[in-house]
Structure 1
Amino acid sequence: MNTYKKIIFCLFVLTAIAVNTLQAQVLPDVQTGFNQYNTNTVQEKLFVHTDKSAYTAGELMWFKVYNVDGANHKPIDLSKVVYIEILDKNQSPVLQAKVGMKDGAGSGSLFLPVSLTTGNFVLRAYTSWMKNFSSDFYFYKKLTIINPLKSPAAASKQIATNYDIQFFPEGGNLVNGIASTVGFKATNQYGKGVNFKGAIIDKNNDTVARFEPYKFGMGHFSFTPDNHNSYKAVIKLNDKTLVENLPDINDNGYTLNVKDGGNNQLQVTVNTNLPDGNIFLFAHTRGVIKDVETAAINSGKAVFAIDKSKLGDGISHITIFNNQHQPVCERLYFKRPINQLFITAHSDAGQYATRRKVSISINTKNSTNAVMANMSLSVYKLDSLQHASQQDIQNYLWLSSDLKGNVESPDYYFKNTDAAADEAINNLMLTQGWSRFAWADVLQNKKPEFKFLPEYNGPIVNAKITNTITNTPQNNMIAYLGIPGKRVQLYAAQSDTTGSLIFNMKDFYGPGEIVIETNTLRDTSVRIDVMSPFSDQYSKIKLPEFSLSPAMQSTIEDYNLGMQVQNIYSGEKLRQFYDPNVDSSAFYGTPFKTYLLDNYTRFLTVEEVMREYVSEVNITHTHNQFHIKVLNANRYLDDGDPMVLIDGVPFFNIDKLFAADPLKIRKLEDVPFVYLLGPSYEAGIFSFTTYKGDMGGNEIDPHAVIMDYEGLEMQREFYSPAYDTEVAMASRIPDFRNVLYWAPNVITNSNGNGGLSFYTSDEAGKYIGVIQGLTADGEAGSQYFTFDVTK
């Protein structure tokens, strides 16, 4: 018996090895190319949690940005900068900002200027790296901004509502003589699903199929196309009749059908009118291969059974390849995530008076254990303008972020797990078609070309240098970028064959000025153009017209009053910023010597200052021009002048340096040795710093490019008054806050526990607290709680 068991065990092991070996031999070229392609194309996903979604012009919008690896949703520390834009209905940016990121998270705020008009807007977010891919996969969120101080624009007169009806054969194609499932989606001009009744009519006006949407304007029907016939879809929508064409019918090809096969399996059926042969199934979840199988076509049909446990959570792509390893069908399949973050959050009471303390208890766990989580929390008032958002970090990462276009009511698919929700999510997957993945690039082993680099260390300033004589890109020329100020920042870049310059900056915060120039003693026949770091790609965004109802009038008046009161009485507190804690030392580190000129006898020229006090220089005057030679270890460095700076801006003409007023200079730092600044070789550095950091009135070279340039957003401190004493509670300063609290960094401990507290304002009403976040393992979750405030 023991011998028999050993034989059976050996046969089992050999069978398993054979199966694994066989699978490894299935589509080896596709698997290799697929893995290489995904290794070179790391995908970032962003989610932005805003404090609310409706604002008054003049308010602050608070936000937190989460950046995760597109494959596993774990926080990714690739990009250190995220670009935030607010776009109007014409997709023109009305606000732009750069947000610093660390360990996959960043936060900030935007002041919504009173110049904005009332209407619906879109917040979008992306990284420099994401600009290499389709803008369809940037983060998008609809916002409403109301400006009570300006008359709203007159509503555009619409002659008729426009509808978009699309049909999606399952797998991608209609094939002559083969029964096919066809998904459909009907939306209005704002991207919202509509209800209708429809029928498929052939050339003889016979009805071959009837259909109507199941939910959100989506559904499916089945019919068998005949390429000797022609078909039209006739759709009756309200009092309107639309006639639409169906996709073309292929003479030959493959169709695909995916359905639940029971026993935790998916049944994938492939039908074809082509000769029998082997076909292949390739399944991946967000770029990670999950299953590769082969099957033989028998009498025009092949069936695969996929174990659902093999597929990852979220959206998987199921692709069918023919025997020539060409992709012929594709279908998306959604699996509800098991690994998620469960957040429990509640207040210590259900009702509070005004100016009273609210304590919030928070607990986080995954499906098995308590876990630490990094979260953000907003507490705001619910009213006729402000509603609970249906978009959260969980349904965005697992669903919306992997699909093109708008997903209506994404929370529906997560809050409901019954058969109706399964049918709705199946229709959503059917109406996506071929999604996101470029098989042609994979099969050709095409190495991706990237125009934009990930900003791994900080903001990148891109510029282009052109020869003004030949009007062609200038190759192999060094340019310098300086940031005028008391903190000495200087960067150098060398142009490539396209004339591109890349300045890798670090710790550049707030509004400021940049100066870009070449060594104009040698190079004057060039022009430097600075590129905008913001994306010039735009996706189709359907924004509904904003309409005011009489019920909103009092709410808008309250918003307007609250905004003005906050800006008048708490304006200074709203303009308090956190110290970014950047290194204040110069780019060259600790200087060899520092001369504080007030400690010495003051001379009337910079030339005298250097001759009398700086022992490491020898000043010469040849060919009617001053030069500086740097002495180090009893020898002179190189033959050229050292790098000379005033408040971080290079001065290549020593005559202009010596023309500066030394009484406006506070200190001189001396670096009398060779310094390599990127591609630039510097024979020493002498850095002058003025008292005001304004360059002391010295004129910058006229060939230099001088421009205002926004660095990373400075982080404001959220102002939340504490009414913890009788005096504070009795204060006559009004408090009309409708956002009671915003906390971008709520961290629970290893036991999953955390908490915080804040105070109610003078505004009575129902309030909602929304908390959402991530674990280090990419488990996402959100939760909300409510309470009432009474006077």
Structure 2
Amino acid sequence: MKTHKYITTFIISCLLSIYILKAQRPNLDSVKFEQENIFVHGNDTFFFPGEYFYFSIYCFNRVTKRPSDVSKIAHVQLINESTEEVFYNKIDLFNGLGQGDFFIPLDIASGTYKMVVYTNLMRNDAQNDHFEMDIMVLNPYTNDQEVFWDNNGDIEHSDKNGIQLSNNNVNKLLLIKGLQSKYNIRSKVEIELVAKDLASYNYSISVRKFDAVFENDIPQIENYAVKNKTIGSKTSEISSKTSFVPEIRGENIKGKVLLKSGQEINIPMRLLVSITGNNSYTNIIITKSDGNFIFPLNRNYEIENLEITPLNNGNDYEVILSTPKEITFKEKKFKKFQLDRNMEELIKQRSIHNQIENNYFSFRPDSIKLSQIKTESFYDGENIRYVLDEYTRFKTLKETITEIVEDVFVTELNNKKVFQIRTEYPLSEQLGFLPLVVIDGNVIEDITTLLDYDARKIKEIDVVHHQYVLGPQIYQGIVNIKTFNGDYSENTYTASNTKLFNLIPKQPLKNYFRQVYPDKNYNETIPDFRHQLLWNPRITQTKERKKLVFYTSDVKGVFSVCLEGLTNDGRPISLQKVFNVE
């Protein structure tokens, strides 16, 4: 009876391996996705060095206008008038919502820029493949301001008033209640957002100093939704030849395996993919017969270093990652702006305020949010964990395995040291399957060097006893080792055929600082020249009323409250109000 059980286990493992081989190479022919649009709510469109450009991303279905659950990554670029990239980042999308920021550096040139945002799915529609907005930067710390001169090479002197804001609080899905027309410096502002109905509202809100002469023309989602109502296709067909595969699980990694001579291969290759460090990840993928591959990285992982190792006589091959095709910006029109001598005092004042605020940044820091996604190991819940600080410490890993870790032992196979895991099914060992050995995300095929590794650097060892299928490979269990620093790859071991890729990490979610003045004497010796009184990139309102509180600073003048967002049923929300600080 037991023999039948062993044979059944073996057959199931083989069938599972075949299934996974097929599953890793899906047929994408004739798969259709409903297209997406993106809108970005920014805190401003005119910046000085030392300021932050905050933004909230709304990715929604092009037809229903409901938040999209297809794409999980948004790509953000800032380009100059020569269409050169100044800034790039990747933003996680959660049910169509994302957030980020960009610090305006001191060495940036004065001029007009464009913020360009897109998903891979949008790139498949040439008519409407990205969102864009104009961003202007005035760098008063450089002498080169020619870009803002008039046609005669002079600085204009005029009586223009710039863009004017109005209180558009009528016939809206949300109403702002309780906002007074005037406040004192360092005063509490308490407002209430009243919903028209009981839909679920997702919105972002910015409260910022408004200077009309700087033309703070912030896009509104209501206008954008109407303008783009009929632009672009409703669906996109994705096939194996599609240039931009939608990132429906996380960031797509695309590349090709070549012979080191540069010639193309003509057989499928097995690749070992590893994310190293404390938050490690391991998988085996199979390329197409021409060497091309694409695989998604689950967004549970904050990725900077990616290791890819060819497993088919790997020393003869080279792995190359593909560079995404750039968006073509032909005939792009950049917004023009002219300096006015009447702006001189405003420019000086704002520059001084920025310098003081940056000097006191430690008193008003932003903080990183804890990940919204639970990070799990690839064998979560199936392991026995040995936390080595709970045991007597031994000098080497070999001694630790022998004295502490049960059912794992060192033996010799074909004149090579290997680990074996004892199981209740002896046939598993007879079939010759070895355990998967991993340390800090690095798969170890030869444990000879690893056996002498200093065990005092090891935090814990996980052991999985049952057979495990990773890609096309069957393993008799897992031995997963984690060091305290997660740096085994850097300091100890890198296979000669392993290619290390440094990827641009996704921008982490942040909790943005909110100033509070509990009494008149609180922090009275610390200057407060905030122009941005409040930025909250993600508010969800499901009840009729929601209260928001913020505090004014030492800066006087007109401030705007700008709110942009979407309801879950696809209705746009745009709201603006102004108040004075005296």
TM-score (norm 2): 0.83
Q: Equivalent of 2:533, from 710, 731, 740?
A: 740
> What residue in structure 2 maps to residue 220 of structure 1?
none
Distance 1:538 1:608, change over 3 A: farther
1:353 CA drift (Å): 0.6
- Residues 1:94 and 2:91 aligned together: no
Partner of 1:727: 521
3-state SS, counterpart of residue 398 of structure 1: helix
1:543 is matched with 334
Please tell me whether residue 112 in structure 1 is matched to residue 104 in structure 2. yes
Out of 125, 133, 136, the residue aligned to residue 125 of structure 2 is 133
Tell whether 2:447 aligns with 1:654: yes
Gaps of 5+ in 1: 1-36, 161-339, 404-435
Aligned partner of 1:393 in structure 2 is: 221
Matched to 2:188, the amino acid is K
Whether 2:318 is the aligned partner of 1:527: answer yes
Structure 2 Cα separation of the partners of residues 616 and 605 of structure 1? 18
Give the C-alpha shift of residue 589 in structure 1: 0.6
Aligned to 1:259: none
User: Which residue among 187, 190, 193 is the counterpart of 1:359?
Assistant: 190
Which of 739, 755, 768 pairs up with 2:560? 768
Q: Where does residue 574 of structure 2 map in the other structure?
A: 782
Q: Note the 1:671-686 alignment, pairs <5 A.
A: 671-686=464-479
Aligned to 1:453: 245
Shift in Å, 1:80: 1.3
- Following the alignment from structure 1 to structure 2, what is the Cα–Cα distance between the partners of residues 717 and 534? 33
d(CA) in 1 for partners of 2:30, 2:425:
56
Distance in structure 2 (CA, Å) of the matches to 1:145 and 1:38? 45
Letter in 2 for 1:483: I
- 2: CA distance between counterparts of 1:354 and 1:609? 64
- Give the distance between the partners of 2:200 and 2:109, measured in 1 at CA: 42
Residues 393 and 781, structure 1, Cα contact 8 Å, conserved in 2: yes
Alpha-carbon shift at residue 757 of structure 1 (Å): 1.5
Find 1:691's aligned residue among 473, 476, 484. 484
Does residue 563 (structure 1) correspond to residue 354 (structure 2)? The answer is yes
Amino acid at match of 1:567: N
Which position in structure 1 is the counterpart of 2:17? Answer: none
Deviations 1:759-784 (A, max 9, x none): 00111010111112211221113121
Q: 1:156-195 maps to which residues of 2 (within 5 A)?
A: none
| Displacement after TM superposition at 1:612 (Å) | 3.4
- C-alpha distance after superposition, 1:329-372 (max 9, x if no partner): xxxxxxxxxxx96332255310001000112222333xxx5644
Which structure has the greater CA radius of gyration?
A: 1
**1:111, CA displacement in angstroms?**
2.2
Match of 1:362, as an amino acid? L
Residue 754 of structure 1 corresponds to: 546
Distance 1:577 1:772 in 2: 23
Could you tell me whether the CA contact under 8 Å between 1:55 and 1:145 is conserved in 2?
yes
Q: Which whole-Å CA distance do the structure 2 matches of 1:347 and 1:44 have between them?
A: 36
Indicate how the Cα distance of structure 1 residues 38 and 66 shifts in structure 2: closer, same or farther if over 3 A, else same: farther
What corresponds to 2:463 in structure 1?
670
Pick one of 577, 580, 594 that aligns with 2:371: 580
Change (3 A) 1:382 1:474: farther
Pairing 1:467-482 to 2, within 5 Å after superposition: 467-469=259-261, 471-473=263-265, 475-482=267-274
Q: Report if aligned partners of 1:136, 1:539 keep a CA contact under 8 Å in 2.
A: no
Contact 1:75 1:778 survives alignment (8 Å): yes
Native 8 Å contact 1:466 1:474 kept in 2:
no
The one of the two structures with greater contact order (alpha-carbon pairs below 8 A, sep at least 6) is: 2
Structure 1 segment 92-491 matched on structure 2, within 5 A: 92-134=84-126, 136-152=128-144, 154-155=146-147, 342-365=173-196, 369=197, 371-384=199-212, 386-389=214-217, 391-400=219-228, 402-403=230-231, 436=232, 450-469=242-261, 471-473=263-265, 475-491=267-283
Deviation at 1:735, TM superposition (A): 1.0
Alignment CA distance shift 1:390-1:62 (3 Å)? closer
What is the CA distance between 1:143 and its match in structure 2? 0.6
State the shift of 1:378 in Å: 0.9
Q: Tell me, what secondary structure is at the counterpart of 1:52?
A: coil
- Give the conservation status (yes or no) of the 8 Å contact 1:41–1:448: no
1:137 is paired with a residue whose SS is coil
Question: What residue in structure 1 maps to residue 10 of structure 2?
Answer: none
SS in 2 for 1:554: helix
Are residues 1:629 and 2:424 paired?
A: no
Aligned residues: 534
Is the 1:605–1:659 contact (alpha carbons within 8 Å) kept by the matching residues of 2? yes
SS at 1:565 equivalent? helix
Report the secondary structure of 1:607's partner residue: helix
Give distance in 2, aligned partners of 1:598 and 1:447.
51
Provide the residue aligned with 1:85 in structure 2. Answer: 77
In the TM superposition, what is the alpha-carbon distance from 1:38 to its structure 2 partner? 11
Q: Kindly tell me: are residues 448 and 461 of structure 1, through their superposed partners in 2, closer, same or farther at Cα, counting changes over 3 Å?
A: closer
The letter for the 1-side match of 2:518 is D
Looking at structure 2, the residues matched to 389 and 118 of structure 1 have their Cα atoms a distance apart, in angstroms, of: 18
Partner of 2:161: none
Could you give the per-residue CA deviations for residues 461-509 of structure 1, whole angstroms, max 9, x where no partner exists?
A: 2222222246104642222322222223223321113423333222356
CA spacing shift, 1:378–1:566, aligned 2, 3 Å: same
Rounded to whole Å, the distance in 2 between the matches of 1:118 and 1:656 is 56
What amino acid sits opposite 1:598 in the alignment?
D
Does the CA-based 8 Å contact 2:111-2:147 persist in structure 1? Answer: no
Unaligned runs of 5+ in 2: 1-28, 153-170
2:271 aligned partner, one-letter code:
A
CA distance in 1 between counterparts of 2:107 and 2:467 reads 52
Over 3 Å counting, the alpha-carbon distance change for 1:652 and 1:71 in structure 2 is same
* Aligned-residue identity in percent: 23
Counterpart residue number, 1:717: 511
Question: Structure 1 151/41 Cα, relative in aligned 2: closer, same or farther at 3 Å?
Answer: same
Give the aligned CA root-mean-square deviation in angstroms: 3.2
1-side partners of 2:376 and 2:98: how far apart? 25
Structure 2 distance, partners of 1:556, 1:707, is 43
